[in-house]
Amino acid sequence: MQIWERLRDPATGRKLAGRVRELAARVCDRLGRRLVFMEVCGTHTMAISRSGIRSLLRDYLELRSGPGCPVCVTDQADIDRMIALARLEGVVVGTFGDMLRVPGSSSSLERERALGAQVKIFYSPAEAVAWAAANPSQQMVFLGVGFETTAPGVALSIKEAEQKGISNYSVYVSHKLIPPALKALLADPENRLDGFLLPGHVSTIIGRRAYLFLEEYGMPAVIAGFEPNEILDAVRELLEMLLEGKAEVRNAYSHVVREEGNLRAQKLLSEVFTVCDVPWRGFGCIPQSGLRLREELAAFDAARRFELPPVESRVPPGCACGEILKGKLTPKDCPLFARACHPTHPVGPCMVSSEGACAAYYRYEREV
């Protein structure tokens, strides 16, 4: 059987599920309580909800979503500044589609577009820089949102703009790094996590090595792929470590993720960005958790190129996204879930994004 067939094979999945439940029962029995694992990545949240893995394991362990949805962790003030950029005369904002409907304090990019602002959806930053080259009379500002996975594409677009002299292209940089967020979670004494399912896509860039600090915290962690069988296999590894009293960082996605990650992408990131402290929704400022443009590329920084009015940001009243991103609550704990907040009327970003926990629960786990 080819690897991809095995990953999707229902018989393998059933066998794995049985093994995982058996191991989970043993660990729970030993600890005298249910376990809590966090799936850090929003794509895992969607895959877990869609496949029914969360309910399959519910008797023994809870899988909680974490801070791995890029749109969701973007601070409200950043959303408001992006909206302020869209309101500027002569500015065209380029963005991935997920950002469009995220509610800011008083508007959204979608609403601004309906009111006449120029907001364009691109599938890659390369398209945005090409658009800027073709429309030199207008200022293209691309919204750089995402983790280590999307930042290299943005870095490349800035290099291209610099090399080709495309001076009407800039980026509003709001990129974030996953390892410092994990540190912030572990530094919180209220968190009761027993293990991490680590993100597959981010790990392709940073490699297993970037997570070794987790071993010092005594936190078992496994890099997981996105097929249901891969997720179950990673959960199995976490449970086996708990049974053996081990706290290692393991790679259950080794057909894609290398020990050292993608060195070319890492080099590109360090050529274009430096690491800085940035605010995350729900967390506040996390040290060394974000990227900003290097001084020599400051001309491509939209936050410096344009004078933005001060924003008075407020988190949507009643929205629990911040606590959900920290794994302290689940979407169903939010009193607005599926009542005042639903996909056609999202109150917070976790209901908008295709990787948001609230969107995943609404779509697949509302009745479970």
Decide whether 295 or 367 has the Cβ nearer to ligand SF4: 367
CA–centroid distance for 258 within its chain: 20
336 near ligand SF4, rule: CB under 6 A: yes
SS3 253: coil
CB closer to ligand SF4 out of 52 and 343: 343
- CA dist 77 and 313 (Å) reads 5
> Rounded to an integer, what distance in angstroms lies between the CA atom of residue 351 and that of residue 336?
11
The residue range among 15-23, 145-153, 298-306, 346-354 that interacts with ligand SF4, by the rule CB under 6 A, is 346-354
Position 321 contacts ligand SF4 (CB under 6 A): yes
The one segment of 87-95, 140-148, 210-218, 350-358 that binds ligand SF4 by CB under 6 A = 350-358
Q: Is 319 in the site for ligand SF4 (CB under 6 A)?
A: yes
Residue of 320, 327, 353, 360 that binds ligand SF4 (CB under 6 A): 320
CB of 281 to ligand SF4, least distance (A): 10
183 token code pair:
């540190």
| Binding-residue total with ligand SF4 (CB under 6 A) | 15
Please return the burial class of 3, using the count of CB atoms within 10 Å of its CB with bins 0-12, 13-18 and 19+: exposed
295 Cα distance to chain centroid? 26
Q: Give the shortest CB-57-to-ligand SF4 separation in angstroms.
A: 22
Q: Which stretch binds ligand SF4 (CB under 6 A): 181-189, 230-238, 266-274, 313-321?
A: 313-321
Question: How far apart (Å, rounded) are the C-alpha atoms in residues 238 and 123?
Answer: 35
In the complex with ligand SF4, the residue whose CB is nearer, 53 or 324, is 324
Phi, psi of 337 (to 5 degrees): -60, 125
- Judged by CB under 6 A, does residue 324 bind ligand SF4? yes
- Nearest-CA neighbor of 69 among 331, 364, 368, 366? 331
Q: Which is nearer to ligand SF4, 311 or 320 (CB)?
A: 320
Residue 351 found at the interface with ligand SF4 (CB under 6 A): yes
Q: Which of 64, 348, 355, 365 binds ligand SF4 (CB under 6 A)?
A: 348
Tokens standing for residue 222: 């496994």
Tokens matching residue 307:
């004078």
CA 165 to CA 206: how far, in whole Å? 30
DSSP string, 167-218: TTEEEEEEEB-HHHHHHHHHH-TT----EEEE-HHHHHHHTGGGGTHHHHTT
Tokens for 229?
Answer: 């069988």
Q: Which is nearer to ligand SF4, 119 or 360 (CB)?
A: 360
Is 358 near ligand SF4 (CB under 6 A)?
yes
Q: How far is the CB of 193 from ligand SF4 (least distance, A)?
A: 20
R_g of the chain, CA atoms, integer Å: 21
Amino acid of residue 345 = H
Q: Considering beta carbons, is residue 85 or 341 the nearer one to ligand SF4?
A: 341
Q: Which of residues 10-49 bind ligand SF4 (CB under 6 A)?
A: none
Residues contacting residue 365 through CB under 8 Å, at least 6 positions apart: 49, 54, 55, 332
Using the rule CB under 6 A, is 198 a contact of ligand SF4? no
Q: Which residues bind ligand SF4 (CB under 6 A)?
A: 319-321, 324, 331, 334, 336-337, 341, 346-348, 350-351, 358
